[in-house]
Structure 1
Amino acid sequence: MINLSKILAAILVLLAIALGVYAWILSRQPPVPAAVATNTANAPVKTQQALTYPIVVAAKSLPAGLAIPADALRVERLTINPVGAFQDVTLATGRVPVLDLAEGTPVIENQLVSGLALRLGEGERAVAIKADEVMGVGNKIQPGDFVDVFITFKSDGKEVDRSQARLLLARKRVLAFGSVSVDALPSKSPDKAAAQQAQRNEQARTAVLAVPVEEVNRLTIGDASGRLMLALRNPTDLSEPDPKLFAELPTALQPSTKAGEPRRAPLEGLDRAQAGLTAADLVTGGKGPGVRPQTAEVHTTAAGAPRASGPARGGLQVEVIRGERSETVSY
C-alpha cells in the first residue's frame, strides 16, 4: 500500500516537471500568432484600396466639335468609376465632345454631343417651321414620320383664280413635332407614356424637318412668303419627283466667272445654299417679275389680216408678305 502511494507521488512529480518544461518552452517562442492575426485584419483594407475600374480616357487632347478618332482613346484602370463613363473604346469613337478634353481625362457621356444633332445625316440640317392643327395633318404627325411639303401662293386683287399650289419638298423626315422629338427615349412606364401622350395632344406650334442644306432656302422663303402644308406619307413610299423635268431655279448670287475658264458645274450643297434664292424666282419658277409677256387678243379685220389689239390682261400677280411689308410680284 505504501509502495503504491510512493509510485503515484513520483508520477505526479514527473508530470508537474514535464508541464513546467513545456510552459518554459512556450514562453521562449516569439508571438507569431499575433502578427498573423494583424496581417489578416489588414488584408481586406489593402484589397479594397487596390480595387480599380477600366475607364476610357483621352490618349491625347480632344478639341471640341471634332469627331474622336479611335487612336485618340485608350482604356486605363482607375480607382474611380464616374457616372456615364465608357469601358469600351468603340462606344466613344466617332462621338463629338462639346468641350476640349485634356489628355488622360475620362470620357463621359454628358461631355459629348447628343440630341437631334445626332439624328441628322451628312449634308442635312434641322429646320423648324410654324405648325398648327391643319398644317400638321390634324396633329397626327409624329417624330420619325415622312412628309411632303406643299406650298400655296395666293394671288391678290381679282385674280384669285390664278393662285398656285405645288409640291415644294418631297419625302422629308420629321425630327420633332411640338414638344415631342425623335431623340426622346422610349419608356414603358405608364406615367411617362401618359405624359408623352399628353404632349402629343397639345397644340403643336413648330415642326422640325431634316432638310438637305441646298433645299433650306426653298423652305425658309416658302414659309415666309406662302402657306405651307404637310402631307403625311407612308415611309415605304420612296417616290420623288424627277428634277430633270423642271428648269433649275436661278440663284440670288451668281458664281464668279473668268474669261477662258471652262463652264462651271452646277452649284450643289453648301455652295448652292450660299448662292441663295429669291422669293420672286421661287414664285415664278425662275422667270422673275415682268419677264413673262402679257397676253394679247387677236382680232381679224375685214380684209382677213390679223391685228393685235394690245394687252388684254396682265400676267399672274402674287402678293409676297415679308413681316410688315407687302409686295406684289407680277409675272
Structure 2
Amino acid sequence: MNKRMVITLGAGLVVTMVLAIVAQALLSPKNEAVAEAPQVTQILVASQDIPVGAELSDYYMQWIEWPETALFPSAIKRQDKQETSDAISGILVRRIEKGEPIVESALVSESKGNFLAASLGTGMRAMAIRVSAESSVGGFVTPGDKVDVIMTYQVRVPADDEVRDAAATLVSRNASQTVLENVRVLAVDQEAKPKDNAKIARTVTLEVDSKGSETLALASSMGDLSLVLRKLGDETHANADEREALTTDVLMSNVLRQLTGGQNNRESRTVRVYNGPNLDEQVIRARIGPPVMR
C-alpha cells in the first residue's frame, strides 16, 4: 500500500466521522439539547422577622416562587389568586425569620387550649371574674371589648368616735368606685372570639397587669364587681382627681345628706379640766348617730 492510498483512506475516514456527528446533531430533538426549566409553585414566607406572640396578618407575610422539586409537606401553597391572610391565621409560638417559610406548627389557633396565653400582651395576665346579666351590660360584653371595672361595697367604719364623726359626712354604709380602667376583655366564659348567638355569661376573663390582678382579686373579695362598656376606640383615662373620687350613699341620698350635713357645724362647747396647777381645755362637739328604724 503506497503513501497516497493511506492518505486517501485517512481523509475519507475523517470525512465520514464528521458527517456522522453532523447527522446526529440534526436528527436529535431540540428539547434534549436544552435543559428543561424547573416547575415552580408559590408558598407563604415571612416578609420580615415575626416575633413570638404576634398575630399573623398581610403585614408579616408574602408569596414567593418555590421549586416543585424542593417542596416540603408542611409548606403552605397558594391556591389560585389567594391572599396571604386567607391562607392561614393564628398567633406565633416561636420566632420566624424573614424569608422563612410559614408552617402551621409555628402557630396556635383559637381552637387550641393555649390560644388565650398566646394572645396576652407582654407583661400582661389573664384573670376571670364572675358576672351576671346586670353586671356585664346585659350580656353584650364580647371578647375584644374595653371595659371599666366598678366595685360596690359596704364601708366598715372603725369604732373610734372621731373617725366615725369624720366619716358620717361622707358615707353611712355603701360606696362604689372605679378600680380598673380601659381593660381588654379576653374571653367570655370559654369563648375567645365574638359569637353571633350571644348568651348571658357567667365569667369574663380580663387582661390586666400584675398590679391590676392584685387589685381585681382584692376588689372581688371586698364587694360586687360591675363591668362598664367603653365606646370603641375610647382610650381616655381619668385624671388623678377623678381616680380618687368615689360615690357613696351619703352623696347619693338627700336624706342622709340632710342628717349628716350640719353635723360638724353643730354647736360645740369647751370643757376646762383642772389638774392641780395645770389647766387642760377640751372641745366637745355634738354628735348624732344613724337614724333608728322602727
Report the TM-score, using the length of structure 2 for normalisation.
0.47
Give the TM-score of the pair, scaled to structure 1. 0.43
**Whose RCO is larger (CA < 8 A, sep 6+)?**
2
